[in-house]
Amino acid sequence: MREELTTLGFTELLTPDDVDAFMSEKGGTALIVVNSVCGCAAGMARPGVRLALQQGPRPDRLATVFAGQDVDAVARTRGYFAEMPPSSPSMALFQDGELVHFVPRHLIEGRTAEQVASDLASAFDHHCAPAA
């Protein structure tokens, strides 16, 4: 479950300090995935992220926290998008330290990985610089 994201280049944020260090880098774009053991994470969220990253522009930095396991890190992460209800799985895209796109669980459940990927890829196209 964790490896599905770390093999794509995601950094695991295991502690609140890890989260703060990751978020302290304000420049560029960053995607944080709140991972989960649920079926929609396995069937739609993680595969959707993988597919989206294989397309055009992608975030400069990638990180993940694991809901239900890295409890303190997840709580700190959610503090960076406190205006959104807690949701796992979910995906948060930041540009220059500001939340610009959020995909909560209810937009993952009942959709295909390809649909989730399309949503993310559209956000990447809009907010991320093309690869050099």
DSSP state letters, 113-131: HHHHHHHHHHHHHHHSPPP
Catalytic residues: 38, 40
pLDDT tens digits for 24-62? 998 999 999 999 988 878 899 999 999 999 988 999 999
Distance CA 45, CA 35 (A): 8
Report all structural domains of the chain as residue ranges with CATH numbers, in order of start: 3-9+27-127 (3.40.30.10)
- pLDDT, tens only, 5-27: 999 999 999 999 999 999 999 89
* CA 3 distance to own-chain centroid: 14
Q: What is the pTM of this model?
A: 0.94
Residue 68 CA to chain centroid, in angstroms? 16
